[in-house]
Structure 1
Amino acid sequence: MTQAMSDASALQVLRPPRVLEQLSDQIGELAPAALNKLKEHHRVWYESVPPNDVTTYARDAWERSVLFLDILRRRGNQHEEMLKHGVSSVLIYDSELVMRGDELPRPVNYSLLRVIPPEGTEIDDRKRPVVVIDPRAGQGPGIGGFKNISEIGDAFKAGHPVYFAGFTALPVPGQQIEDVARAFATFIEKVAALHPDALGKPFMFGNCQAGWHAMIAACMRPDVVGPMVIAGAPLSYWAGVHGKNVMRYLGGWYGGSWLDRMVSDMGNGLFDAAWLVGNFDNLNPANTLWTKQYTVWANPEREADRYLNFESWWGDFVVLRGEEMQWMVDNLFIGNKLSTGQIITSDGIRLDLREVKSPIICFCSHGDNITPPQQALDWILDNYQSVDEIRQCGQRIFYTIDAKAGHLAIFVGTSVAAKDHAEFINNMELIDTMPPGLYEIVISDGAAGGYDLSVEERGLDDIRALGCNSLEDEREFAAAARISELNNALYQTFLQPWIKMVSGPQVARAVLDLNPLRLGYSAFSDKNPMMRTIAPLAAAVQAERTAASANNPFFALQQQVSQRMVEALDLFRDLRDEHVERSFHAVYGSPLVQAACGISQADGPPRPRPGLSPSILAAAEADKVRLKGRVAEGSIVDAVARMLVYIGKAQRRIDKGTFESLRKLLRAEQDVSPSAFKTALREQWAILAVDEHAAIEALPALLPAGSESRRACVDLLQACVAAAGKLNADAQRRLDRLLKMLEVAS
């Protein structure tokens, strides 16, 4: 049997698949006899040795090892089954096709699906539809609806219609990044058309890579997008702090993007996105090489389903077109051009993040080693010098930072998703009501097991306090980008013609199959003849399973060995990361290298801040003139909104309870529609920003003395203030000033 297994291992490569299949069947026929013999030896050994801590632990460890191998076998078979079907969505909800991306004028491999709510779920079509876009950064679609506690699950719980943008494993020939962004904009427009009575434009979730895709779509079509949650999405790729975020150095460390181009050429024009997953795995070798597997081996019965369920997504690899990957690396990962408006589409549209006027909610975490807070937020520093400039551009930017959640936890069904995503969805009208500015969304534990959400004003110094690049750092990354351009030119001139000459479908297939991550799945599947004996052996072990007592002292020793292994791998990671960072700074920080790249120490920032066109400045000035003309105009609702904003600016925050109280009060007293309520608040906030003194001094003229409108306005103001709760000292002074101005006692 041993000789047969050895021969099978060699023939797996040398013989055609039909012969290999016959050999595997022969091994399968021999397996029962060998298994019975093994079981007999096992029984005799176990009965001949007195049961003690050593023998019971040894038997338990043996049985767990067999069960663990069987789990790996099932994982490999699961992976092979997914390969047969192209790509498998892990979305747990039923869905129906709404629009095919491959039928668009510029076809893509995405489709728009309507997610069918579970039985018993009540959907209110007047609420904004929610659109979830999953990342195509290595794995297949569905992670946004992987569990009941997820973005899709939270949207259903709140009664919203839900749509999902999924994709297939293979891209459409000729597909480009900007084509995908256009498809997203078309999908959003279609969803809005399907819900004409909704309170506003669709609310969008863009996870990881899909986050910057969604932002590009919003730059192209700012008229169609509604509020956006950009979860774990890097928008400023050079950003970070020293001693962390080593992934941002890898582009320069490998000499630029020529390696990605070579892999695409070897793949006959396709780039295997499993390489991207490998980069993520390498960030935490302790988890990848040890903890992830050890946890399953230590308790296979409890962990098997969870492990296989997650691996159904993690091992579902997709491919990208070489042009897509090259665009991402050159313009984003190494070039970092998106955050400063340096990218122009094929039809002449400049991708300017300042053009997005709908609320942008950046959701990030200090525990995210793929998209740290700096990469998620420093695009704000790249574009603006002050919050006043944000307001002048009419942009509304929000952010929330989790203390420790990892990258996947930001958008996978976890306790983080149960809290943050649900609060974003439940309070999207509050978020959409806020006027232009920079805000932090603070979510804290509330009464009765719920959560309290408040929106608090922030400044650019709050973003800088998280850590940002120095001018020297910017020059180093700019030098890495120049070196990348040079190496790409050298590769295209001298090496690419030879690579393309020898590449073809067979080579491309081999490049895919021999990818280390893909090989790790197939080697433990039933494609490997030696794994054919594992299934019956595991069944026998399961039938006679005898777990050792939890008090067995060898379990404590086992845990100590595991902990030492984790510490050793963490030490390796730290030393490796330190070496990568030091070498990056040593090479690209060299004045000689920077001079050779044309980067002068005497010049300013290597990436100039994006400027505003004359038309944008003229439009801003025209809007300022319009707002000044509105100072002495308005209804009771406008007057109350102006006074509330004036008082609220002293509070510097608004919570969801106050917002709901004010909205209900105004609707009850003045029959104000939700859209009119939001418009009034934003308009009056803008008027106060243009000329606060004139706006407040105009209130007595806006509300003539002795008129019913003044009395009604003051009553409504006092009722709103009472609903808002206790005021701080500055806000109370502002309230007293208003009441005195309107000749009403406090």
Structure 2
Amino acid sequence: MPSPYSPATASVRTLAAAEVATTQMQRVALSFSHHVERFARDHGRRMQELIADGAALTRAFGHAAGNGIADQAKEYAVDAGQRLALTFDVLRERAENDAAHEAAGTPPVLIYDHEVAVDGKTLARPVNYVLLKILAPEGVVTYDWKRPYMIIDPRAGHGAGIGGFKQDSQVGVALRDGHPVYFVVFRPHPEPSQTLADVMRAEAEFVAEIARRHPQAPKPIIVGNCQGGWATLVLAAANPDITGPLVINGAPVAYWSGRLGENPMRYNGGLLGGILPALLLSDLGGGEFDGVHLVSNFELLNPGRNYFGKYFDLYSDPEKSRASFLEFERWWGGFHFMNEQEIRWIVEQLFVGNRLSRGEARIERGRQLDLKAIRSPIIVFASRGDNITPPQQALNWIVDTYADEHEIRIRGQRIVYMVHDKVGHLGIFVSSSIAKKEHAEVASTMKTIEALAPGLYEMTIDEQFGEGVDARFRVSFHERKLSDILAIDDNDRSEERGFAAVARLSELGAELYDLTLRPWVQAITADEVAKAMRSAHPARVQRAAFAHDNPLTRELRNAADRARAERVPAAPDNPFLEWEKLWAKSVTQAFDVWRDLRDTAYEMTFLSLWGSPQADAIANSHAFQRTRRDPKELRYLPDVQAILLGIERGAFEEAVIRMLILLAQSRGAVRRDRLERSAKVLTRDEPFASLGAERRAALIREQSIIVEFEPERAIATLAQLLPEHERGRAMEVVDFIAGAIEEMEPNTIKMLQRMREALGLPPIALPDTGRDPLQETEAARDVA
């Protein structure tokens, strides 16, 4: 064996470094080409639109030149001045709302009446989290026996309530369907010494309280939005026996993931110093990290919208936009805080360390979190239009957690994901249109998802029937492989090795800071200094500048009153209004040009620094993946072998479930109407209704493993599970769930025929899909 210091070894290392350098140059070139291509495409198109709009505007002014253009200019000037006064008045009102909201303790922005179910301050380990029971509005009835919802809002700088600050929202969808709804909120400041382990335990207490209040209902559905999504996964991984299905909306879990030429936010850790800024800001904040820093990062992702666009929209029509602007800004400006321990865990374990996705996160000393431990079905909602949580960050944890899709099935897990094409990050849990369609369909899916065979699925909304409130959709679940998720990321995650180098140096930087500068920073930071720093943050200053105690804005109310009294809007065809819109489009594009150039520089700098041979060597200790079992070895797991030994044992329940799983595998997709029929049979009809949820789930897992590893024997041994007099009834149940034969795929018909042959039944005939044979059996017994 050659010595690590021998010339041969040195030569190998030199070749390896040269290969890394070559890969780095190729990656930088590819990144640059992506940015240039997108820049040219997007801004070229927008520049052409500006030129066309400018030409149209020139023609409009030419036409108006001889038709009273001076009067139109005067009309526009009056209108513009009045709109400016009204806009300033709305900003003044926003500042007063902020002050009132903060004085009231920054309560959640929920529009629904609610009552406190559990106050986290009263728990053995106090936290600033509170469980609210949402009170159904007039005309809406909820039922205690229906599965409750618990919605966890993101704690990412803002306050709580964004998941329910509109009628058409996650809360509204669940209430209208009759479900009791609970909402997890948090106060602005954490309790002293509060940790995220304490928060997780508090959320587990919340789930236990919901179970106590609804003893006849199934385990609650847990909905996690954004940062609340990973909190939901942590809760379920640490307490796998207490939760029902999980809905994870726009939640970043695989933080290193993304696509070259996109997703610049993931580079912040490598360019801004890893965890060090969070520790320093926490110390300068008197032990608390100010959420305003996170909000500012979000705003910088789209400066054209956040620093100009939303204000221009308000200015364009202040009367119409006032209410919605103030409603949203009440939440956007409700800055909240975290303890140093909390933000440190988030940055070390998630933002920079990416440990939860890789199975290395520890919620507290000695307690490791493994997402494989989760037994509840999981629905993941992501969007290609989300620049905060791109689909790769929302989905790649699945690839990192499981060996392949076969392991998901073997473990009895159901993971369903849905990728929207356009909606932005906040739109995932704020948009009314998303609530009416995607969230409504997810809510409907929750009733049936536990009847789905274990596996990985993509949920698609294929067709719409009807319009408006009467709209209905055809939803399908398509079996997917882990390679389908990787394809969203172009199948290449090699640049993630650079993030491992960042994680290692971030840990070293934190250690050096802890041992050297930290005691001095903490010693010189008095409470007055921390308060002054908070007040001086630009995000707070630009809002507070319009407060009533500013002498420059004391006349804003009077000016707005005069504008309202004398309001004379300009005519819609006034060419100066078109000039105003053209100017706004050009300003927005200027912001976007700057943003795109900045993002290009961000990515190029990161790849240049952290893709180098030196950084690659630094990454060695942290660029690991969790141990992956070879899929072929899964067959030899002890519980799998035990299940396969029982392939010939069972009864009516095992036979029907096995046949349904065989059908699902033959199709490769399941329509929700079939899933609904399956759920009805497996939960309401005897003998399945008496099984109970846990035994039913165990049977589905066992039969899934049998079909996975022994599909031929699974068919051949069906007759051994069913006495001859029960075979026809079992087949009728399967036919009822399968639906009309004219809607079946050829493979489905072939599988039905093979099962009939195995049971010694006549060839397949057109089934009567309108009758449930088990229900008819129960009715006949009742008559007798």
Give the TM-score taking structure 1 as reference length.
0.88
Counterparts in 2 of 1:724 and 1:665: CA distance versus 1, 3 Å: farther
Is contact 1:268–1:504 with CA below 8 Å preserved after alignment? yes
Task: Tell me which amino acid in the other structure corresponds to 1:660.
Answer: E
Root-mean-square deviation (Å): 2.3
1:701 aligns with 2:720: yes
Task: Tell me which amino acid in the other structure corresponds to 1:261.
Answer: L
Query: CA offsets, 1:204-244, max 9 Å, x none?
Result: 10011111111111111111111110111111000000010
**Cα separation, 2, equivalents of 1:394 and 1:740:** 29
- Name 1:99's counterpart in structure 2: 118
**Cα separation, 2, equivalents of 1:589 and 1:530:** 52
1:373 aligns with 2:394: no
Is contact 1:53–1:552 with CA below 8 Å preserved after alignment? yes
Counterparts in 2 of 1:369 and 1:229: CA distance versus 1, 3 Å: same
**Cα separation, 2, equivalents of 1:546 and 1:311:** 28
- Name 2:100's counterpart in structure 1: 81
Match of 1:608 among 625, 647, 659: 625
**Cα separation, 2, equivalents of 1:258 and 1:666:** 54
SS in 1 for 2:508: helix
- Name 2:444's counterpart in structure 1: 426
Match of 2:361 among 328, 343, 350: 343
- 1:410: Cα distance to partner? 0.6
**Cα separation, 1, equivalents of 2:698 and 2:491:** 38
- Name 1:178's counterpart in structure 2: 197
Q: How many residues align?
A: 687
**Cα separation, 2, equivalents of 1:697 and 1:358:** 32
**Cα separation, 1, equivalents of 2:259 and 2:326:** 36
Counterparts in 2 of 1:619 and 1:117: CA distance versus 1, 3 Å: farther
Counterparts in 2 of 1:229 and 1:559: CA distance versus 1, 3 Å: same
Match of 2:620 among 592, 599, 602: 599
SS in 2 for 1:320: strand
**Cα separation, 2, equivalents of 1:404 and 1:73:** 34
- Name 2:600's counterpart in structure 1: 578
- Name 2:663's counterpart in structure 1: 647
Query: CA offsets, 1:117-152, max 9 Å, x none?
Result: 112212122211011111111111111111111111
Match of 2:433 among 407, 415, 418: 415
- 1:667: Cα distance to partner? 7.3
Match of 1:164 among 175, 180, 183: 183
**Cα separation, 2, equivalents of 1:205 and 1:700:** 43
Task: Tell me which amino acid in the other structure corresponds to 1:645.
Answer: I
Query: CA offsets, 1:440-482, max 9 Å, x none?
Result: 1112333222112221110011101101674641221111112
**Cα separation, 2, equivalents of 1:165 and 1:668:** 32
Match of 1:382 among 379, 400, 403: 400
Counterparts in 2 of 1:719 and 1:433: CA distance versus 1, 3 Å: closer
Is contact 2:451–2:675 with CA below 8 Å preserved after alignment? no
Is contact 2:285–2:530 with CA below 8 Å preserved after alignment? yes
1:236 aligns with 2:258: no
Task: Tell me which amino acid in the other structure corresponds to 1:173.
Answer: P
- Name 1:638's counterpart in structure 2: 654
- 1:436: Cα distance to partner? 2.4
- 1:668: Cα distance to partner? 8.0
Task: Tell me which amino acid in the other structure corresponds to 2:758.
Answer: M
Is contact 2:460–2:477 with CA below 8 Å preserved after alignment? yes
- 1:387: Cα distance to partner? 0.9
Counterparts in 2 of 1:547 and 1:723: CA distance versus 1, 3 Å: same
**Cα separation, 2, equivalents of 1:629 and 1:396:** 24
Task: Tell me which amino acid in the other structure corresponds to 1:647.
Answer: L
- Name 2:53's counterpart in structure 1: none
Is contact 2:222–2:244 with CA below 8 Å preserved after alignment? yes
Deviates more, 1:84-93 or 1:720-729: 720-729
- Name 1:558's counterpart in structure 2: 580
Query: CA offsets, 1:529-554, max 9 Å, x none?
Result: 21111101110111011111111001
- 1:718: Cα distance to partner? 3.3
Task: Tell me which amino acid in the other structure corresponds to 2:292.
Answer: A
Counterparts in 2 of 1:640 and 1:394: CA distance versus 1, 3 Å: closer
Counterparts in 2 of 1:720 and 1:505: CA distance versus 1, 3 Å: closer
Is contact 1:658–1:724 with CA below 8 Å preserved after alignment? no
- Name 2:476's counterpart in structure 1: 454
Equivalence map 1:494-643=2 (5 Å): 494-595=516-617, 597=618, 599=620, 606-610=623-627, 621-643=637-659
Give the TM-score taking structure 2 as reference length.
0.84
1:223 aligns with 2:217: no
Equivalence map 1:125-524=2 (5 Å): 125-198=144-217, 200-346=218-364, 348-448=366-466, 449-467=471-489, 470=492, 472-524=494-546
**Cα separation, 1, equivalents of 2:506 and 2:323:** 44
- 1:172: Cα distance to partner? 0.2
SS in 2 for 1:238: coil
- 1:684: Cα distance to partner? 2.5
SS in 2 for 1:340: coil
**Cα separation, 1, equivalents of 2:117 and 2:134:** 10
**Cα separation, 1, equivalents of 2:645 and 2:286:** 63
Counterparts in 2 of 1:353 and 1:326: CA distance versus 1, 3 Å: same
**Cα separation, 2, equivalents of 1:468 and 1:349:** 35
Indicate the percent of aligned positions where both proteins have the same amino acid.
39
Deviates more, 1:664-673 or 1:289-298: 664-673
Task: Tell me which amino acid in the other structure corresponds to 1:170.
Answer: H
Counterparts in 2 of 1:191 and 1:619: CA distance versus 1, 3 Å: farther
Is contact 1:393–1:620 with CA below 8 Å preserved after alignment? no
Task: Tell me which amino acid in the other structure corresponds to 1:512.
Answer: R
1:735 aligns with 2:752: yes
Query: CA offsets, 1:30-81, max 9 Å, x none?
Result: xxxxxxxxxxxxxxxxxxx997011110111111111111111000111111
- 1:561: Cα distance to partner? 0.5
Is contact 1:340–1:610 with CA below 8 Å preserved after alignment? no
Task: Tell me which amino acid in the other structure corresponds to 1:508.
Answer: A
Query: CA offsets, 1:87-107, max 9 Å, x none?
Result: 121111111111111122221
Query: CA offsets, 1:384-437, max 9 Å, x none?
Result: 231112223332211101110100011114211221111111221321222321
**Cα separation, 2, equivalents of 1:258 and 1:632:** 60
Is contact 1:230–1:363 with CA below 8 Å preserved after alignment? yes
Task: Tell me which amino acid in the other structure corresponds to 1:74.
Answer: E
**Cα separation, 1, equivalents of 2:711 and 2:700:** 14
**Cα separation, 1, equivalents of 2:70 and 2:258:** 56
**Cα separation, 1, equivalents of 2:339 and 2:594:** 34
**Cα separation, 2, equivalents of 1:698 and 1:525:** 78
